[in-house]
Chain A
């Protein structure tokens, strides 16, 4: 499933791109899974076909999907995140919810920790 909120300040293209990327990274969309055709997804989400096409192009540029005329758009292999990282993300989400944080607050915390982890040579 994927959703687009017309009231969101984030553009539909970015909403589609980020959700698809997250699902590919999380392994919810396994390798070689065929994504819906551009027109189908655009009609279902009530957005312009160009928005979905641009989101697909961005995903293709990022190496997450590949597009072929006959085979459609498919998820590239080797894009799913490793199991420990997925587990850590789920643990972060659970802990943040337990402590009453919202998604954006949890994302803020992650963004705050990011440069420190980078400076520390990748160790958390």
Chain B
């Protein structure tokens, strides 16, 4: 029974992993044909080329600083969590989102050069509104938004089912457990049950701060995307293609980095919850043999669900690593793209 339910859980999570992989490929795969990459969009004129290189250089620097700030703040929280015993691991739970918020704040606040290419000629503007979701596919935004909603829903559910520990903190999962039994004439009699607690469980103690930090992360992502979209376009239409490419990379970086942080947070919480729930859904079987070690039997469907949660955590952790690599790759692309226009232009001029 136990192995069958385990197989079902593994199968369900494998399917989920395949679906997640397909969604991630679709969301963060190659850019749309109409959105040129920085290397493809060659600006005209030396001034335009200079402005493009300046913009890509500043963007690469800002992305790198954001990653460093984010990782440093997350690392700091993890270090605090390791030394602050009375926090009961709360800093660990907040590390992902707080690090991402700090990184996004740095990324957004770092100054960028304006698209000034010299000359006092006419300034051109397009008449289509630009919004936070204008420079990437809808999936790029829908997937993390759904993940954030699922996280909040999961935390609310965990909060409802959580119990207080000896200090009154909502951070444990309480369950009925076998506390003892007697044997009489080779038979089990007088089975006693009691309440026992397992933790750390993401009850209100962890849930409320994580929900707040997740809301802050969503707000920071929206703010960063909004600023990226609403920044002034170049004055010349010749540079619109390269500007669109730059904004596309900016959007991809913001979403990949923030989604990675969110995924790390979800993976950590799911792993902890799954482990606690799995341990909580194994009931001891009373035995009449005083020398035998009592066996355990899984309590369904909680045991299978817990197993699925653990496997899901592993899948989401892999997705988080993939997303983090994607965000680092965007920094690499920004660095590469700042050189590409010059090479292409030089070639074009040599012909």
Which A residues lie at the B interface, using CB under 8 A? 1-7, 20, 23, 29, 33-37, 39-41, 43-46, 72
Contact = CB atoms under 8 A, between A and B. Distances in A.
Contact of B127 (A29, A43, A46, A72): A29
A117 B120 CA distance: 40
Contact of B129 (A7, A35, A43, A46): A35
Given A43-B230, A44-B233, A23 B125 contact: no
Contacts of A72: 129
Given A6-B120, A41-B125, A46 B130 contact: no
Given A43-B232, A44-B233, A36 B122 contact: no
Contacts of B126: 1-2, 36, 44
A1 B129 contact: no
Given A1-B237, A2-B125, 17 more contacts: A1-B127, A2-B126, A2-B127, A3-B125, A4-B125, A7-B120, A20-B127, A23-B127, A36-B126, A37-B230, A39-B230, A41-B127, A43-B231, A43-B233, A44-B125, A45-B125, A46-B123
Contacts of B129: 34-37, 40, 72
Contacts of B125: 1-4, 36, 41, 44-45
B242 interface: no
A29 to B, nearest CB: 7
A2 B124 CA distance: 6
Place the interface of chain B in its size category: 10 to 19
Interface in B123-137: 123-130
Contacts, number: 60
Interface in B106-134: 120-130
B101 interface: no
A3 B130 contact: no
A20 B125 CA distance: 12
Nearest 9 A/B pairs, CB to CB = A44-B125, A43-B232, A5-B122, A3-B122, A44-B233, A36-B129, A3-B124, A45-B125, A45-B123
Contacts of B237: 1
16 contacts: A1-B124, A1-B125, A2-B124, A2-B127, A7-B121, A36-B127, A36-B130, A37-B230, A39-B230, A43-B230, A43-B231, A43-B232, A43-B233, A44-B126, A44-B233, A46-B123
Main secondary structure of the interface of A (DSSP, over half): mixed
A40 to B, nearest CB: 6
Given A36-B128, A36-B130, A4 B230 contact: no
A41 B126 CA distance: 8
B283 to A, nearest CB: 55
Contacts of B130: 36, 40
A11 to B, nearest CB: 14
B127 A4 contact: no
A35 B232 CA distance: 16
Contacts of B330: none
B235 interface: yes
Contacts of A7: 120-121
B232 A46 contact: yes
Contacts of A39: 230
Contacts of A44: 123, 125-126, 232-233
Nearest to A19: B127
A39 B130 CA distance: 11
B10 to A, nearest CB: 47
Contacts of A3: 122-125
Contacts of B233: 43-44
A7 B121 CA distance: 7
Contacts of A37: 129, 230
B261 to A, nearest CB: 29
A52 to B, nearest CB: 10
A35 B233 CA distance: 16
A6 B123 contact: yes
Contacts of B122: 3-6
Interface string B226-267: 000011110101000000000000000000000000000000
A100 to B, nearest CB: 23
A2 to B, nearest CB: 5
A26 to B, nearest CB: 13
A4 B123 CA distance: 5
Contacts of A41: 125, 127
